[in-house]
A and B are shown apart, each in its own frame.
Chain A
């Protein structure tokens, strides 16, 4: 001890640390500000574009959409978007939830880790690849099924299912693993089989989180523009039918935004983007509220 230099004693006032804290705080604030700025700029851009062609607003709910003839109603596109989401969701949900349940609760422990890694890979599969596959392979199959040229909505639904299923399964897996072991063990100690334990002890607790998983998965598919544009050939013209080609709110953006020069056309597309933005925000916020507290370990 004696050989050590005495510690420097200063007053209790700030030394260097105060400026470090100030720099840290302003940098962190800048990060948030940048996000806010991007949001504001996006919204501002779209709202401005809508305001430049206000004459489209009254007819926006109309089902007819055909920029060539000046029919600019988004109702039909909204319908086909909802229909493809619904159909795709119906395809993806049972498979994804059941698959996730198996991986989390019933699968042999030795395969869990590698399969989870594969599932993570599936979540990251690019939408262009899904689009290519559905367009070339799925499209041909659907064509045989639904008749020539009549596969638009089914293809779009297939894209939605392919894009959302891995995400739904991944979030559902996290929800399942967040259910405390004590609940399972309680049921198993009472003589339940593993499946019975899942049914009586795990599923009731996880339901809310599973709904959140489905919403989050579909939210990802909702923002999906490019893959659907790839599989939906040609311009959308009228209300969707199962057989007719149909665009969605997202796919028309990809197809037309760059080429749109008339103010009314741009205004319509911007309105579609605003609707997508609102839906995306709502689903994200909603699913977070549903999943929150389930996947977060207690502090």
Chain B
């Protein structure tokens, strides 16, 4: 290796490093810019008001209820595939979960709208939560299955060798050993559900174009944002930006929290 080629190679290495850092910055810049931009726009247009926080609370409620539907369903389906089903059934359920995970989330709203929504009366909370639950469940099922497949065989055998029933081994030994990762997945899915507005268009009643009413009737940040932005009224647009800011901060914080929870060693 000659001296010149050595420095040229070192220079290439540095160049690639800087270019890579730039690319990564380009990847994150829109997000950070978005946070700042929405904050400034909202402040300029006077979008922050108390009702916004009612909408945040409504969103969180909705999200919690959706997790309540989606997480157990997904967890159980994942357990079924990982621990109980034969290879053929496992492949079928895996495929079903993939079909659902690949479906436009809007379709869950359509499904709930045209099936159960007629039974739940005036309340839009329950059908909305059901639709978002359907959005959460397939991803949870796949994550559960993959995490369980990472549980070392020795741990499983240790528990079985102690004369524990297989279901106890799964519930009290295998699942606890991946609980922090599962918690991280759950938080990340909650964050996704929090910002998902498309299914709500169908479950939260006719809201489009009624920006002002949304915050009162069916408080959801994501939906409120969608309704407000189409208004030409600057005050409404200010609300949209304020909703965007609060939504962004909540969602990014929740998923960052999900990462730290998921990485904590059990």
Contacts and interface: CB of A to CB of B under 8 A. Distances in A.
Direct contact of A and B (CB under 8 A): yes
B11 to A, nearest CB: 10
A141 interface: no
B215 interface: no
A223 B105 contact: yes
Interface in B236-266: 237, 240-241, 244, 247-248, 251-256, 258-260
Contacts of A100: 24
Contacts of A21: 165-167
A124 B110 contact: no
B123 interface: no
Contacts, number: 297
B24 A124 contact: no
A165 B25 CA distance: 12
A223 B104 contact: yes
Chain A residues touching B, range: 35 or more
A275 B126 CA distance: 29
Contact of A254 (B77, B78, B106, B229): B106
B51 interface: no
A183 interface: no
Interface stretch (A33-41, A50-58, A202-210): A33-41
B21 A299 contact: no
A277 B252 contact: no
Nearest to B33: A133
Interface string B192-222: 1011111001100010100000000000001
Nearest to B202: A258
B199 to A, nearest CB: 9
A165 B24 CA distance: 10
Given A45-B114, A102-B24, A276 B74 contact: no
Contact of A126 (B26, B96, B170, B195): B195
Given A129-B248, A196-B9, A296-B146, A38 B134 contact: yes
Interface in A78-98: 94-96, 98
A169 interface: yes
27 contacts: A20-B168, A24-B170, A29-B84, A32-B85, A32-B89, A35-B93, A39-B99, A45-B111, A45-B115, A95-B26, A98-B23, A102-B20, A106-B16, A107-B21, A119-B28, A126-B196, A128-B225, A129-B34, A129-B248, A132-B38, A132-B244, A133-B38, A136-B237, A165-B27, A225-B105, A254-B198, A281-B103
Interface of B: 1, 9-10, 12-13, 16-17, 19-21, 23-28, 30-31, 34, 37-38, 72-81, 83-85, 89, 92-93, 95-108, 110-111, 114-115, 134, 137-138, 141, 146, 149-150, 152-153, 165-168, 170-171, 188, 191-192, 194-198, 201-202, 206, 208, 222, 225-226, 229-230, 237, 240-241, 244, 247-248, 251-256, 258-260
What are the 4 tightest A-B residue pairs by CB atom distance, in nearest-first order? Answer: A126-B195, A31-B76, A102-B20, A280-B102
